Structure 1
Amino acid sequence: MYSLKGYLTRNLLITLSVAMVLLLAFLYHGIQVLTQDFVASRLQHDADSLIAALKHDPNGTWTLSSDRLPNVYHRVNSGHYFAIQIGAQTLRSRSLFDHTITLPTLGAGEQDQATLFVGQEHWLMFSQAVIKDEQLVTLWVSEDISTLEQTQVAFLTFACAAVLFTILFLLFAQYQLLKRGFKPLEQMPEAIRQMRTQGHDIKPDQVPSEILPLIDEIDRLVNQLGQRVQRSRNALGNLAHEMKRPLQHLQSYLENLPPEQQREGCNVLANLHHIIERELKRTKIVGLSTPGRYTVLDDDLAPLIQVMQRICPGRTIQSQYHRHLVLPFDRDDILELLGNLLDNACKHARKHIELHICQQHHPRQGFSISIRDDGEGVSDAALTLIIERGIRLDESIQGHGLGLSICKDIVDSYQGELSFSRAKLGGLAAQVFLPAPR
C-alpha cells in the first residue's frame, strides 16, 4: 500500500529538484558568458585606446602618451595589464611588474581571446594585430576577472538559497492544495460507512467526479449482493411453504399405519415441521437483506419486536438501550441472533420478556445483550448442560433449543461469548457479549 499524497509529493520534489538544478546550471553558464563578453568588450575598447595613444618618434621608437592611459595600468598588480609588440620593441604596462608573458602570433586584422590562471588571479586576455604606420602592431590586453567570479559565486549561492526556498514553498503549497483536494476523499469512509450501516445514499455533488464511478460500483455491488441473499432467503421460504403440502399427505398416510410405525413416523414428521417453522421464522425475522449494513437499533429493533409479538401473541417485550446506539456488526446476523433468542424467550415466558442492550467499556470494550423471561426456567442440571454444550441445544433440552445452535455460530463468528443463567424474573436469562471490532 502506498500513499497517493506521498507519491505526488515525492515526484514533485524530484521534478522540481532536477528542473532547478538545470536552471542553476544554465544561469551560471549564462552569467559566465555575459561576464566574459562584457569584459572582452571593455578590453577591446581599451585596446582601441592604446592603439590611438601609440606614437612613432622621429628617432624610430614607439611611445605611449601617458596622459591617455588609465591609472589602473600604472599600479602594480592592479588586475589590468597590456603589452604591445612592434617588431623588436615591446611596450608593457607598469602593472605587469615582473610577470612574464608571451604574446600570440597574429596576422594583420586577426584577434584572439583566451583565459589564464596566474597565481590567485584569473586573466581574461584579448589580443589583436593591426597595421599602424606600415608596421605590424600586436596588442595584448588582460584583466583579472577573479573578483567578478567571486561575485558570480556569491550570486549563485544566493540563487541556490532562493531555489531551495522556492522548492520548499512549492512543496508546502502543493501539500496545502493536496490537503484541500483530498478533503472530500477523507469524508468518503464516513459516507460509505453511513451508506453501508444506515442506507444513506452518497450524493454525487459531495464527491469528486474522478471517484464517482468507484462509488457507483460499490453501491451496485452492495445492492447486487443484497438481492442475491434476498433471493436465497425467498427461495428457502418458498421451499418451506411448498414442503407443507407433501407433509400433509404424509401425515394422512401415517394415520393408516400400525401404531408403532405411526408413532415413529410422527416423530420424524414433527422434526420436519420444526425445521420448516424455524426457516420461516428466520425469513420473517431478518426481513429485507442488507449485507454489510450495521444494526441501527432505532430503525431495526422495533420491527423485529413487532414480528415476534405477532408470532407469539400475548407476550410483552420490553426493550432498553441507548438512543442512537448502533451495533457495528452485520444487521442480518444481529437480527437473526436477537430473533432466535427472543423466540426462545417468548415460547417459554408467561407474559414478560426483557431485552437489554448496552455498550460496554470495562473490563472489555464491546456490546452486551441480555434477554430474560418470566417462565418456569430450567433445572440446575439442565442449566449446566446448556452452558457445557452450548451448541445444538435443541437436541439436548426440549423447548429451549430453537435456533440456539445458530445463535452460537453467529456469536462465535465475532469471537463473542454466549452464556445462560437463571433470570430474576424466574425464567432463563441469555447473555451475549460481542467484542468491539478493531
Structure 2
Amino acid sequence: MLLAVGWSLAALVVSAVVLALLFQQAALRRFDQSLNELIDNLTTGTTVENGEVVAPALTDERALRAYSGRYWEIAEFRPGGKVAALVRSRSLWDSELHTPRDLASKFAARPGKPFAYSARGPLGEPLRAAARPATIYGHPVIFLAAEDRSPIDRDVRGFIAATAAAFLLLGLGLIAAVVIQVRVGLRPLFELQREVAAVRRGKAERLAHVYPSEVMPLADELNALVAHNQEVVERQRTHVGNLAHALKTPISVMITEADQRPGPLAEVVTRQAAVMRQQVDHHLRRARAAARTQGQGERTSVVEVLDELVRTLERIFRDKGVAIDWDAPDDLYFQGERQDLLEIAGNGIENACKWCRGKVRVRAEAAGPERLRLTIEDDGPGLTQEQREAAIQRGARLDESAPGSGLGLNIIDELARAYGGALTLGESGLGGLRLQVDLPRAEA
C-alpha cells in the first residue's frame, strides 16, 4: 500500500511539474512571437537619412504611451561591446532597454538569429525582451523589443495553482482507491489470520471459512498441518503413557524386593530406585507439558481451579487454622490443560500453606492480552536470595524436618517454562515468600 501510494504521488508530482514547465514555455513562445513581429515591423520600415537611422511610424498605441509596458529600441554596438540607443519608443521616455553584457557573443554564436532574454523595465517591472542584429544600408544596428511579462507570470501561477489543486484531488482519489483495493483484496487474508489465531487459542479446531480460489489452497494446507500436529501430539501422549507404565512397574518391583531383603545392597537399591523414579516423573512431566503446549489450544477457567484448590487445602490445613484469601477475574482463562494449572497452582498454594503462620494470599490477574500472572504470598519466615535460587532446584529441601519431596517449586518452574512462562520468587508484602508465575492467557 505504501509503495503504491508513494509511486502514485511521485508520478503526480513529476507530471504536475512537467505540465507547468510546458505551459510556461508555450506562453513564452507566444510572447516571443509577438516581440519578433514588432521587430519585423521595425526592420521593414527603418531607413537611414543623412547618416542617421530613422524608425518607421508605428501605430502601436502602447509604444506611444510612457511606461506602458511595451517598448522598442534601435541601437548599435559601441567600442567595448557597449550597446547605445539610436532610436527608441516614446514609451521608454528617457530610459533605455537593458541588454546582456555578452550580447555580442550571443549574436556571434547564432548569426542572424534573434535572442530572447529577461530584463527589468524603466519602473522595475519584469520584461521579456528580444534582440536581433541587422544591417540597414550598410549600417549595423540592433533591433530590441520588450514587453511587461507580468500577465504571463500571473497566467503561469494561475495554471500552477489550478493544476496543483486538480492533481491534489486526483492524488487523494488514487490513495483512497489504493487503500480500498488493498483492504478489499487482502480481506480474505485478514480473515485467515483471525481463523488461525482462533485455532491457536483453542476457540476453533480447524479453518472453516470458504476463501477465494487463490487463498483456499493455503487454508487447506493449514488445516492439514493442524491435523498432523494433533496426530503427532496424540502419538506423543501415547508414548509417554506407555513409557510411564514400562518404567514405573519395574522400579516399584525393585523397591518392594529391596524392602523385603534388608541390608546394605537393599539400601543402595532403594535409594537409587527412588532417584530413578524422580527422574522418570521429572522427564515424563516435561514431555507431557511440551506435548500439550504444541497441540490444540485449550482453555481452563482460573476461577474454577482456584476455588477447587482453596476449598481442598483449607480442609487439609484446618488444624493449622490457615486462611486463604484469593481473588481472580471470572473472565480469566489459562491457555493449557486443567491438570497442568492444578499442579502449578496446587503446588504453590500448598507450599504457602505449609510454611505460613496462618495467612495466605492468592491473586490471579491479566498481565497483557496474551499473558496472565498468578501470585501466591504467605506470612511465613520467607527465604533469602540464596535460598530462593536453591529452592527451585529439583529435589532441594531447605528444611529436612518438613514433610515433602522438595519437588514442588521445581514442578512449577518446569511446567511454567514448558508453557513459555516463568517462575519468580521474591519477598511478600505479608512478610513471607512471594511466588509469581507468568503463564499464557486464553481469550474469554
**TM-score class normalised by the smaller sequence:** 0.5 to 0.7
Q: Does 1:416 align with 2:412?
A: no
* Structure 2 match to 1:426: none
Deviates more, 1:408-417 or 1:225-234: 225-234
Answer yes or no: is the 8 Å Cα contact 1:16–1:167 preserved in 2. yes
Indicate how the Cα distance of structure 1 residues 297 and 324 shifts in structure 2: closer, same or farther if over 3 A, else same.
farther
Counterpart Cα distance in 2 of 1:73 and 1:99 = 13
Counterpart Cα distance in 1 of 2:340 and 2:17 = 67
Q: Does 1:151 align with 2:147?
A: no
Question: What does the per-residue CA deviation read over 1:357-388, in whole Å, with 9 as the maximum and x for residues that have no partner?
Answer: 63279xxx96335699xxxxxxx899999989
Unaligned ranges ≥5, structure 1: 56-62, 84-90, 105-109, 309-314, 373-379, 423-428
Counterpart Cα distance in 2 of 1:71 and 1:234 = 109
Read off the aligned partner of 2:28 and give its amino acid letter.
Q
- CA apart distance, 1:336: 3.1
Answer yes or no: is the 8 Å Cα contact 2:135–2:141 preserved in 1. yes
* Structure 2 match to 1:322: 329
Answer yes or no: is the 8 Å Cα contact 1:114–1:124 preserved in 2. yes
* Structure 2 match to 1:296: 299
Indicate how the Cα distance of structure 1 residues 275 and 341 shifts in structure 2: closer, same or farther if over 3 A, else same.
farther
Read off the aligned partner of 2:332 and give its amino acid letter.
L
Question: What does the per-residue CA deviation read over 1:10-50, in whole Å, with 9 as the maximum and x for residues that have no partner?
Answer: 66555544443344333322321233235545765x579x7
Indicate how the Cα distance of structure 1 residues 25 and 72 shifts in structure 2: closer, same or farther if over 3 A, else same.
closer
SS of structure 2 residue aligned to 1:407: helix
Indicate how the Cα distance of structure 1 residues 71 and 188 shifts in structure 2: closer, same or farther if over 3 A, else same.
same
Q: Does 1:123 align with 2:119?
A: no
* Structure 1 match to 2:336: 331
Q: Does 1:196 align with 2:200?
A: yes
Normalised to the residue count of structure 2, the TM-score between the two structures is 0.53
* Structure 2 match to 1:27: 23
Indicate how the Cα distance of structure 1 residues 168 and 331 shifts in structure 2: closer, same or farther if over 3 A, else same.
farther
- CA apart distance, 1:142: 5.6
Answer yes or no: is the 8 Å Cα contact 1:254–1:266 preserved in 2. yes
* Structure 2 match to 1:239: 243
- CA apart distance, 1:407: 0.8
| Matching residue within 358, 361, 381 for 2:364 | 358
Q: How many residues align?
A: 365
Counterpart Cα distance in 2 of 1:73 and 1:387 = 103
Read off the aligned partner of 1:25 and give its amino acid letter.
L
Higher RCO (CA-CA < 8 Å; seq separation 6+): 2
Unaligned ranges ≥5, structure 2: 48-53, 75-85, 98-103, 105-110, 122-126, 310-315, 317-325, 354-359
Counterpart Cα distance in 1 of 2:393 and 2:168 = 67
Counterpart Cα distance in 1 of 2:175 and 2:155 = 30
Answer yes or no: is the 8 Å Cα contact 2:117–2:128 preserved in 1. yes
Normalised to the residue count of structure 1, the TM-score between the two structures is 0.53
Read off the aligned partner of 1:414 and give its amino acid letter.
A
Read off the aligned partner of 2:293 and give its amino acid letter.
T
Answer yes or no: is the 8 Å Cα contact 2:255–2:273 preserved in 1. yes
Counterpart Cα distance in 2 of 1:82 and 1:381 = 110
Answer yes or no: is the 8 Å Cα contact 1:73–1:94 preserved in 2. yes
CA RMSD between the two structures: 6.5
Counterpart Cα distance in 2 of 1:279 and 1:271 = 12
Answer yes or no: is the 8 Å Cα contact 2:382–2:427 preserved in 1. no
Read off the aligned partner of 2:365 and give its amino acid letter.
Q
Question: What does the per-residue CA deviation read over 1:235-291, in whole Å, with 9 as the maximum and x for residues that have no partner?
Answer: 44433332245446646864785544334423433443455456656767x596234
